Structure 1
Amino acid sequence: MSLQNSTVSPRRESLLATNQLIRNTYLMLSMTLVFSAVMAGVSMWMNLPPMISLIAMFGSMALIWFVLPRTARSGAGLVTVFAITGLMGLGLGPTINYYLHLEGGDQIVMTALGGTGAIFLALSAYALISRRDFSFMGGFLMVGMIVVLLAMLGNLFFHLPALSMALSGAVILLMSGFILFDTSRMVNSGEDNYLMMTVSLYLSIFNIFVSLLNILGASRD
């Protein structure tokens, strides 16, 4: 009887830890999304120039690469996560303002927002309910991101609208894959730090939203 209890107990502890990780991640993700939206609103209200988007992007990437890995298991990690998402929200303001000035801009932004929410909720729910292991997608997703980034750099010189649309579609597919991959890592004990998972899921949501804006805006242009 004691042997059975000793076998069940670690499994129970593992399940409790997984559930706690998921709760903490989604709570933190909700808070950062709200904070990011507030910062985007401030940026829009101040009518900040497009250069802010570039500065915010480099600043947030520096925090993700160099600061977050060192602070993710300390109280400073909370500040780092809010700094990352706040910067990205600030940089998103000029982009949203641009699309709002297009014909039917309000509809473009709201459709992109609704589409992003629907994609994230559907994929997260599927990964959580099915509890499937999507770790096999990791290599494919990384290769896909490298190819897309190289294509984006190339398109800076060629300025091909059709390629830009195709790349936005590819980003949506890749970020959808990352949502499945990251949620699966939480469910199947592939990751135990909720701050790292929060930033990873936030980046997927952010990139899906921006890509949907690009596709919807191009279709109206």
Structure 2
Amino acid sequence: MENRTTYAQQSGTSVLETNKVLRNTYSLLAMTLAFSALVAGITGAMNLPHPHWAVFLIGAYGLMFLVHKTANSSAGILSVFAFTGFMGYTLGPILSMVAGAGQSDLIVMALGGTALTFFALSGYVLTTKKDMSFLGGMMTAGFVVLIVAVIANLFLQIPAISLAISAMFILFSSGAILMQTSSIIRGGERNYILATVTLYVSLYNIFVSLLQLLMAFAGNDD
């Protein structure tokens, strides 16, 4: 009886911890998305140029490294907002260009598609509570293929490869959402700051990739 009571208490504590991580993750994700959108709007309104790809890589990965280093402290929150603010800045010129071309509806469609993808994938895992860790191997292979494709297209500049890369980013990011959500509800992820960044990056990639595909299909891909 004592063993059963102890197990019930541990299970109850685990459920409470999981719910707390989920709640904190989604709350922080909502705030960072709003902040990122605000920065993107300001950047677009000021007509600031898109950062050079080297600046983008250094800024994005540098700030992600900072987030991971400070994830277990209160400074982690500031790091997350610094990272998502920078990513919002990179979105501003893109959105301004699309809106300036009279294709604001594409932005709305990309936002809708991103939201639908996120809620569908998250809802599936939260409902079924399936273990998605089996995707790990495929995600690793997909990441390698993506890196090779991106580097190759820097030299080749083939539109068809760009479209394929965008589609691959959507699939890869969708897998990341499935794995991250599964990890939270199954107790593998207890740091809501790291979980937030993973989900944010996935949403960012899905949105940008969808927008690029829509622009291509609409005949506005440069």
Aligned to 2:4: 4
Deviation at 1:101, TM superposition (A): 2.7
Q: Percent identity?
A: 42
Aligned to 2:118: 120
Aligned to 2:82: 83
Q: For residue 26 of structure 1, what is the amino acid of its counterpart?
A: Y
Asked whether 1:136 is paired with 2:134, we answer yes
Secondary structure of 1:74's aligned partner: coil
Gaps of 5+ in 2: none
CA distance in 2, matches of 1:91, 1:35: 13
Deviations 1:150-172 (A, max 9, x none): 10111111111111111111110
CA distance in 2, matches of 1:58, 1:85: 14
* TM-score normalised by structure 2 residue count: 0.95
Deviations 1:3-32 (A, max 9, x none): 321111011101110010000000000000
Kindly indicate whether the alpha-carbon contact (under 8 Å) linking 1:127 and 1:184 is maintained by their aligned counterparts in 2: yes
CA distance in 2, matches of 1:163, 1:123: 26
CA RMSD of aligned residues (A): 1.3
Asked whether 1:175 is paired with 2:173, we answer yes
Kindly indicate whether the alpha-carbon contact (under 8 Å) linking 2:45 and 2:96 is maintained by their aligned counterparts in 1: no
Deviation at 1:139, TM superposition (A): 2.0
CA distance in 2, matches of 1:188, 1:115: 27
Q: For residue 180 of structure 1, what is the amino acid of its counterpart?
A: L
Asked whether 1:200 is paired with 2:198, we answer yes
Gaps of 5+ in 1: none
5 Å-filtered alignment, 1:49-128, equals 49-51=49-51, 55-65=55-65, 67-102=66-101, 104-128=102-126
CA distance in 1, matches of 2:51, 2:40: 14
Asked whether 1:151 is paired with 2:149, we answer yes
Deviations 1:45-87 (A, max 9, x none): 110012267534421211212x122210100000000000000
Aligned to 1:45: 45
CA distance in 1, matches of 2:213, 2:71: 34
Deviation at 1:90, TM superposition (A): 0.7
Q: For residue 42 of structure 1, what is the amino acid of its counterpart?
A: I
